[in-house]
Amino acid sequence: MKRPPSNSILRPAVSLLILMTGILGVAYPLAVTGVARVLFPGQAAGSLIVRDGKPVGSRLIGQPFSDARYFWSRPSATRPQPYNGLASGGSNLGPLNPALTAAVEARIAALKAADPTNHAPIPVDLVTASGSGLDPDISLAAAYYQVGRIARTRHLTPGRVRALIAAHARTPWLGVLGEPRVNVLELNLALDKLR
């Protein structure tokens, strides 16, 4: 077979790469941004929650809670602080790693110390770190587990706290798509509004 002349490869390669960078690397993201800004401005900008004119968080990004008056989020393995928006990630601890068992034990102890009379088994998502370290949700089981503590510290009836969870609960669509969960930041903001 005749060898192809070298400029029959280099010229198309260089010019096609430049053109494609323009189309795929500049025009395409700008076009998506332009349309997204018109159709879904709130989502494109990060689904921020604004209270009294100030952003207090994003509906999609969790926050750490340790006050007994608030629903606690899932443990977060981000460093140096939990729920660090600039260092998303999980613990990456293997299932046999003693550090994992030790971390779970410490979380169980903290939950029990905040609510000594609660002897219900602890839902697993409340003592295991999420994959992103920014999980905005807890399972409904994890929310209901915390009802007694919240009701006591806020002088509310447990029924009222349960009703608040139920009002914010999301359940699987058709029983298959999605998981039973509740957004912790939204739940706590609603809790602060209760009188």
Q: Rule CB under 8 A: is residue 180 a binding residue for other proteins?
A: yes
Residue corresponding to tokens 């490869």? 9
Burial class for 59, CB neighbours closer than 10 Å (0-12, 13-18, 19+)? middle
Part in contact with other proteins (CB under 8 A); list of ranges 38-46, 146-154, 155-163: 38-46
Minimum distance from residue 53 beta carbon to other proteins (Å): 11
Please identify, using beta-carbon distances, which residue of 29 and 159 lies nearer to other proteins: 29
Question: Residues 65, 193: contact at Cβ < 8 Å?
Answer: no
Q: Rule CB under 8 A: is residue 11 a binding residue for other proteins?
A: yes
Minimum distance from residue 148 beta carbon to other proteins (Å): 16
| Binding residues for other proteins restricted to 43-102, rule: CB under 8 A | 43-48, 54-67, 70, 74, 80-98, 100-101
Please identify, using beta-carbon distances, which residue of 100 and 151 lies nearer to other proteins: 100
Question: Residues 150, 71: contact at Cβ < 8 Å?
Answer: yes
Q: Positive or negative, the Cα torsion across 41, 44, 49, 53?
A: negative
Question: Residues 72, 65: contact at Cβ < 8 Å?
Answer: yes
